[in-house]
Structure 1
Amino acid sequence: MTLAGAAAAWGISQLIPGISPLLVAIVVGALWRNLITVPRSLSPGVAFSSKKLLRAGIILLGLQLSLSAILGLGPGVLLVVVASVGITFAVTLWVGQLMGISLTQRLLIASGVSICGAAAVAAVENASDAKEEETATAIALVVLFGTLLIPVLPFLGGVLGLDAESTGMWIGASTHEVAQVVAAGSAVGGGALAVAVTVKLARVMTLAPIVAGISVYMRKTGAATDGKRPPIVPFFIVGFIAAVLLRSSGILPDPLLAVLQIVQTMLLAAAMFALGLGLDIKSLIKVGGRPVLLGLGATLLILGVALAGTLLFPPL
Structure 2
Amino acid sequence: MGNHRAKILKEEKLPKPKRKASVGLLFSGIAFTVVIAAIGFALSKVPGFDHVGPLACAIVIAVIYRQFFGYPEALRSGIQFSSKRFLRFAIILYGLKLNIDTVLHQGLDLLIRDMAVIGFAILATVWLGKILKAEPSLSLLLGVGTGVCGAAAIASVSPILKADDEDTAIGVGIIALVGTVFSVVYTLIRPILPISDIHYGIWSGISLHEIAHVALAGAPAGQDALAIALLAKLGRVLLLVPLCFILIFWMKRKKSGNTSDTKIEFPWFLIGFILMSLFGSYCLGHSIPISQGIMNGVSDLTTFILTSAMVGLGLNVSLRDLRAKAFRPFIAMLITSIVLSVVTFFIA
Common fold, TM-score beyond 0.5? Answer: yes
State the secondary structure of the residue aligned to 1:206: helix
Quickly say closer, same or farther: Cα 1:307–1:270, change in 2 above 3 A. closer
Question: What does residue range 4-153 of structure 1 map to in structure 2 within 5 Å?
Answer: 4-15=35-46, 16-71=49-104, 79=109, 81-82=110-111, 84-98=113-127, 99=129, 100-102=136-138, 103-111=140-148, 120-125=149-154, 127-129=156-158, 131-152=168-189
* Contact 2:114-2:236 at 8 Å conserved across structures: no
* Alignment-derived partner of residue 329 in structure 2: 291
Aligned residue-pair number: 283
Structure 2 unaligned segments of length 5 or more: list them: 1-31, 130-135, 160-167, 209-213
2:37 alignment partner AA: A
Q: Deviations over 1:75-107 (max 9, x none)?
A: 6x974x456533332111002222135333321
Deviations 1:199-230 (A, max 9, x none): 52441341442233234446655899999733
Structure 2: which amino acid aligns with 1:47?
A: Q
Q: Determine if the alignment matches structure 1 residue 258 to structure 2 residue 287.
A: no
Query: Cα offset for 1:29?
Result: 0.5
Note if 1:267 corresponds to 2:300: no
Mapped to 1, the partners of 2:325 and 2:233 lie a distance apart of 28
Is 1:210 aligned to residue 243 of structure 2? no
TM-aligned CA distance change 1:171 to 1:69, over 3 Å: closer
Indicate if the aligned counterparts of 2:198 and 2:224 stay in contact, CA closer than 8 A: yes
Residue identity opposite 1:250 in structure 2 = C
Contact 1:93 1:110 in 2 (8 A): yes
The answer (yes or no) to whether the contact 2:52–2:184 under 8 Å persists in 1 is no
Question: How far apart are residue 196 of structure 1 and its match?
Answer: 4.4
Which secondary structure state, in structure 2, belongs to the residue aligned with residue 14 of structure 1?
A: coil
Tell me by how many angstroms 1:262 deviates.
2.2
Name the SS for the 2:266 alignment partner.
coil
Counterpart of 2:33 in structure 1 is 2
The whole-number CA distance in structure 1 between the counterparts of 2:302 and 2:223 is 19
1:241 matched to which residue of 2? 274
TM-score between both structures, scaled by the size of structure 1: 0.74
2:301 partner letter:
V
- Change in CA separation of 1:264 and 1:129 when aligned onto 2, cut-off 3 Å: farther
Relative contact order (C-alpha < 8 Å, sep 6+): which is higher?
1
What secondary structure sits across from 1:17 in the alignment?
Answer: helix
Larger Rg: 2
- Report the more deviating stretch, 26-35 or 284-293: 284-293
Alpha-carbon distance change, 300 to 275 in structure 1, aligned in 2, over 3 angstroms: closer
Superposed CA offset, 1:113-144 (max 9, x none): xxxxxxx3254245335733322221111111
- Partner Cα separation in structure 1 for residue 257 and residue 143 of structure 2: 14
Q: Using the alignment, how far apart are the partners of 2:142 and 2:43 within structure 1?
A: 33
- C-alpha distance 273-198 of structure 1, shift in aligned 2 (>3 A): closer
2-side partners of 1:128 and 1:224: how far apart? Answer: 14
- 1:65 to partner: Cα distance: 1.8
Q: Retained in 2: the 8 A contact 1:127–1:214?
A: no
Given candidates 282, 301, 304, the residue that maps to 2:339 is 301
Counterparts of 1:221-232 in structure 2 under 5 Å?
Answer: 229-231=262-264
Secondary structure of the residue that 1:91 maps to in structure 2? helix
Contact 1:150–1:180 under 8 Å retained in 2: yes
Paired-residue identity, %: 19
Cα deviation, 1:168-204, whole Å, max 9, x if unaligned, reads: 6256414632322344x4xxxxxxx577445524413
How does the TM-score come out when normalised to structure 2? 0.68
Map Cα deviations across residues 222-273 of structure 1 (whole Å, 9 max, x no partner): 8999997334523323322322222232336344433332222222211111
TM-fit CA distance, 1:70: 1.5
SS in 1 for 2:114: helix
CA distance in 2, matches of 1:287, 1:39: 22
Contact 2:97 2:223 in 1 (8 A): no
The answer on whether the counterparts of 1:67 and 1:244 sit within 8 Å (CA) in structure 2 is yes
